[in-house]
Structure 1
Amino acid sequence: MESHKLASRIPIFPLIIAASLLVGWLIPEFYAWTDSDQSRPSPLLWKVPLGSAIASAAFCMALPWLPISPQPSIDASRQPMRFSVRTLLILTAGVAITIPLLAKFPLALSGIVCAGSFAYFVAFCVRNPQHRMAAAALFGCMILPYAWVVGYDELDRILPALVVVIAGMPAVLPAALLSQLFGQHFLESQWLMFLLTAFELAIGIWMIRLGPKRTIAYLLLVMQMSAVGSLGFYMMCIA
C-alpha cells in the first residue's frame, strides 16, 4: 500500500518531460564529447543510443511489476471502442481515396493528415483533462529532444528549412530508414515525416487511453527515436 502511495506521488510524466528537454539540450555537447567529425564518426554515436535503448527496454520489461496504477476516475471515464459497420465502411472508403491521392500529391495530403492529427491531439487534451499531463509528456518526447536548435549559433542559416520540416521532425529517424528502403533521397521524404508524425500522435493517444504503464513504455520509445533523429539532424546542420 505504501509503495502505491509513493508511486502516486512521483511526478512520472513531468520527469519524462524534463529528461527529454535535458537530452535535447545536451545533443551538441554529446557530439563534441564523442570527438567525432563528418569524416570520422565515433563508435560512441551508436553505442550510447544502443545502450540507452537496451536500458529503456529493460525498464519497460519491469513495468508490469511496478506499483503504478491509473486513478479510479480515469478507469471509469475510459469507454471501450466500438465500430459499427457504417464506420468501417467510411474508414475503408477513406483509405481507398487517400492512397491514390497520396501517390499523386504526397506532400499536400501528408501535411493535411499531420495538421489533422495535431488538431485531434489538442481536442483530446481539451476533452480529457485527466490525460493532459500524459499528453504533454508525449508532445515533449516528440519535440524537446530538438531543444538544442534554440541555442544553435547558426539558427538563421537553418531556419528556412526548419520552418518547413518542423512538424515532421519527431519522425526524422523512421522517415530516414523508410526512405532508404523505398530508394528515395531523405530530403525528398518530407511527406513521409509528416505521415509518421501523425502516426506517432495517433498511437500515443491510444496508449494514453490504455493506461500509464503502456504510456510510459511508448514515451520512452518516442523519446529514443526523437533523440537519435535530433542527433542526426545536428550532424546534418554542422556538415
Structure 2
Amino acid sequence: MEISKLASRVPIFPLFSAVSLLVGWFLPGFYAWTDSDQSRPSPLLWKVPLWSAIASAVFCVALPWLPIGTKTPIDAPPKTMRFSVRSLLMITAGVAVAIPLFAKFPLVLSGIACVGAYAYLIWFCVRNPPHCMAASALIACLILPYAWVVGYDELDRLLPTLAVMIAGMPAFLPAAFLSQLFGQHFQESQWLAFLLTAVELLIGIWMIRLGPKRTIAYLLLVMLNSAVGSLGFYMMCIA
C-alpha cells in the first residue's frame, strides 16, 4: 500500500518532460564524449541508444505489475462510436478526393494533417483538463530531444527552415528510414515526416485515453525515437 501511495506521488509525466529536455540539451556533449566524427563514428554512439531501448523494453514488460493507477480521469464515460450511412458516404467521398490531391500536393496536405493533429491535441486538453500533463509530456518527448538546436553555433543557418522543419522533426528517424527504403532523398519526402508526426500525435492521444500505463510505454517509445532522430540530425548538421 505504501509503495502504491509513493508511486502515485511521483510526477511521472513532468519527469518525462525533464528527461527529454536533458537528453536534447546534452546530446552534443554526448556526441563529443564518444569522440566520434563523420568518418569514424564511435561504437558507443549507437550502443547507448540500443541499451536504452532494451532497458525501456524491460521496463514496459514489467509495467503491468507496477503500482500505477489504471483509472483514466475522463470526465464522461466512453461512448460507443456509431456511424450513419450518410457519415460513411461522406468519409468515403472525402478519402476519394484526398487521395489524388495528396498524390499531387503531398507536402501541403501532410502539413495540414500535422497542424490538424496539433490542434486536435489542444482541443483534447481543453475538453479533458486532467490529461493536460500527459499531453504536455507527449509534446515534450516529441520536441525537446531537439533542444540542442537552440544553442547550436550555426543556428542562423537553420533558422530559415527550422520553423517548417520543427513540425516534422519528431518523425525524422522513421521518415529518413522510409525515404531510403523507397529510394528517395529526404528533402523530397519531407511530407512523410509531417504525416508521421501527425500519426504519432493521434496515437499518443489514443494511448492517453487508454490509461497511464499505456501512455508511459508510448512516451518511452516516442522519446527514444525522437532522441535517436535528434542524434542523426545533429550528425547531419555538423557534417
TM-score, with structure 1 as normaliser: 0.95
Shift of 1:234: 0.6
Rounded to whole Å, the distance in 2 between the matches of 1:81 and 1:211 is 18
1:52-101 CA-partner distances (Å, limit 9, x unpaired): 000000000000000111447x1663414413244444333332222221
Equivalent residues, number: 238
- Asked if the contact 2:131–2:208 (Cα under 8 Å) also holds between the matched residues in 1, the reply is yes
Rounded to whole Å, the distance in 2 between the matches of 1:12 and 1:112 is 32
Q: 1:181 to 1:81 in 2, by over 3 A?
A: farther
Q: 1:195 to 1:53 in 2, by over 3 A?
A: same
- Asked if 1:167 corresponds to 2:167, the answer is yes
- In the alignment, what sits opposite 2:195? 195
- Asked if the contact 2:74–2:128 (Cα under 8 Å) also holds between the matched residues in 1, the reply is no
Amino acid at match of 1:62: A
Rounded to whole Å, the distance in 2 between the matches of 1:3 and 1:93 is 53
Moved more, 163-172 or 90-99: 90-99
Q: 1:81 to 1:176 in 2, by over 3 A?
A: farther
Rounded to whole Å, the distance in 2 between the matches of 1:75 and 1:145 is 29
Rounded to whole Å, the distance in 2 between the matches of 1:166 and 1:76 is 32
- Asked if the contact 1:78–1:209 (Cα under 8 Å) also holds between the matched residues in 2, the reply is no
Rounded to whole Å, the distance in 1 between the matches of 2:67 and 2:160 is 46
Q: 1:69 to 1:162 in 2, by over 3 A?
A: same
Amino acid at match of 1:79: P
Rounded to whole Å, the distance in 2 between the matches of 1:66 and 1:91 is 41
Q: How does 1:12-27 map to 2 (within 5 A)?
A: 12-27=12-27
- In the alignment, what sits opposite 2:41? 41
Rounded to whole Å, the distance in 1 between the matches of 2:80 and 2:54 is 33
- In the alignment, what sits opposite 2:238? 238
Amino acid at match of 1:197: T
- In the alignment, what sits opposite 2:81? 82
Moved more, 26-35 or 78-87: 78-87
Rounded to whole Å, the distance in 2 between the matches of 1:75 and 1:164 is 34
Q: How does 1:42-81 map to 2 (within 5 A)?
A: 42-71=42-71, 74=73, 77-81=76-80
- In the alignment, what sits opposite 1:222? 222
CA RMSD of aligned residues (A): 1.4
Query: In structure 2, the residue corresponding to 1:237 is in which secondary structure?
Result: helix
1:12-37 CA-partner distances (Å, limit 9, x unpaired): 00111101001001110111011111
Rounded to whole Å, the distance in 1 between the matches of 2:32 and 2:105 is 40
Q: How does 1:94-173 map to 2 (within 5 A)?
A: 94-173=94-173
